[in-house]
Amino acid sequence: MHPPGEAIILNSVDAARSLDDLERLESRRGLFCAPRDPDGGELAYFLGNSLGLMPRSAPEAIERELDRWASLGVKGHFEGDPSWLEHHRRLRTPMSRLLGAAPEEVVVMNALTVNLHLMLASFYRPTKTRHLILRESPAFPSDCYAVDSHVSLRGFDPGLSVVTVGPRAGETLVRHEDILGAIDEHRDRLALVLFSGLNFATGQRFDVGGITSAAHEAGAMAGFDLAHSAGNTPHELHGWGVDFAVWCTYKYLNSGPGSTGGCFVHEKHWNTGNPLAPKLAGWWGNDPATRFVMAPSFDPAPGAEAWQCSTPAIFSTAPLSASLKIFDDVGMPALRERSLRLTGRLRDAITARCGDRVRIITPADPDAHGAQLSLVIPGLGRGAPGELDRRGVVADFREPNIVRVAPAPLYNTNEDLWRLVEALDAIA
């Protein structure tokens, strides 16, 4: 439902401020630190899809763990609420609520690409006849590197065993029917379908449930990189039957640069006797009840935690706990509603002010996008971020000619949107 006063059109800074007044109870801007210009003014920050803003409670969360280290030393693993032994487990419940999973299906660990490698080791099980991996194009480079390396390690040629589905000639988005068509075309040789939840370049949101169903019907596994959709759009990973998923937490989840990632493994793969899910093992994946027995044989922990290898990085998970508390207080349904309103207003305002000088390639269908809008500005190259910076707006550039902006519903305001529109009008 739109807020009272939705008839106000985002066509001036006064209109933007009026909308912010109407929505002051929804915005959590005050809970985050906004970057400032040299004169001390707040910048309009639109890169939550690259690095989310710092929660003001993050330093306190880190300081708390530093104090524990200083006062307890190694005993911090066992004392405190939560102790370091339990710290990562306290994160799985709020994380699972964001992703539509059971808490035991989620684990916070490592970094995104490391987790992807661990998942590929378990779920890419090629045979002589079934060895293809299907991915989107363009895909984030790190995903491509990980996929190619696993194909090569198993003795196959990435040039032959990795197939892609991308936009049709003259188009910028991947059609869902083309994804299903590619799965069906390769069904007899397909081992794994690996897609993102939301494409990093175009902002297109994929039908994760539909892709999963098609992959399973073809006899393949279905895995997803949710780096750009976790904390951005709703998910139902358990209900969709997704086999595995990985994500980072430093984008929309605001955990800090290079912070700990996350991983989902559907409960159907927990059975340690399941030949579909062997794993690379490490001591933190051992059952906590027997972890300190120091036995030479691996006794896997129940659930997704069995895929852990190493001791969690407490100073990385501490700010994540601060951010997840904000998400829990607000709730994903309310965040999604606000996100759609902000992005919809921004789309309308850009179109009205800039016309065909700025082309929005992100789908307009609310089900097919998240917070991000990808903008093509003809003739504008890598200097675009600098031009925007000079006007108090933080955005980024992706080859060949895409400016990405992402109004994060937790902290972006309508006034931010208007500042962006004015800046685009000036440089386009």
Q: What CATH number has the domain bearing residue 411?
A: 3.90.1150.10
Same-domain status, 338 and 319: no
Residue at 346 is within a domain: yes
pLDDT for position 82: 86
Residue 282 to residues 106, 152, 264, 297, 306, Cα–Cα distance (Å)? 17, 24, 17, 11, 9
Same-domain status, 292 and 232: yes
Record the pTM: 0.95
Strands 132-136 and 162-165 come out as: parallel
| Residues 94 and 328: beta-carbon distance below 8 Å | yes
pLDDT for position 125: 94
HSE, CB side, 13 Å, CA atoms: give it for residue 424.
32
pLDDT for position 383: 77
Domain of residue 29 covers 13-33+331-427
Same-domain status, 166 and 292: yes
Q: What are phi and psi of 330, to 5 degrees?
A: -85, -45
Residue at 258 is within a domain: yes
| Residue at a domain's end among 326, 341, 358 | 326
| Residue at a domain's end among 326, 354, 388 | 326
pLDDT for position 5: 42
Same-domain status, 195 and 116: yes
Same-domain status, 389 and 282: no
| Residues 109 and 308: beta-carbon distance below 8 Å | yes
| Residues 24 and 418: beta-carbon distance below 8 Å | no
The Cα–Cα gap between 298 and 300 comes to 6
Which segments of 282-411 does DSSP mark as H helices, in order?
314-330, 332-354, 384-389
Identify which of 4, 82, 27, 48 has the alpha carbon closest to the alpha carbon of residue 338. 27
pLDDT for position 200: 96
Residue at 46 is within a domain: no
Same-domain status, 313 and 345: no
Average pLDDT, the chain: 93
CATH assignment of the domain containing 90: 3.40.640.10
pLDDT for position 183: 98
pLDDT for position 4: 43
pLDDT for position 240: 98
Same-domain status, 268 and 341: no
Number of domains in the chain: 2
pLDDT for position 239: 98
Identify which of 138, 135, 130 has the alpha carbon closest to the alpha carbon of residue 148. 135
Same-domain status, 339 and 269: no
pLDDT for position 1: 34
Residue 167 to residues 197, 199, 356, Cα–Cα distance (Å)? 16, 12, 21
CA 302 to chain centroid, in Å, comes to 25
Instruction: Dig out the tokens for 114 from the structure.
Output: 């490391």
The Cα–Cα gap between 380 and 365 comes to 26
Residue at 42 is within a domain: no
Residue ranges in the chain modelled with pLDDT below 50: 1-5, 275
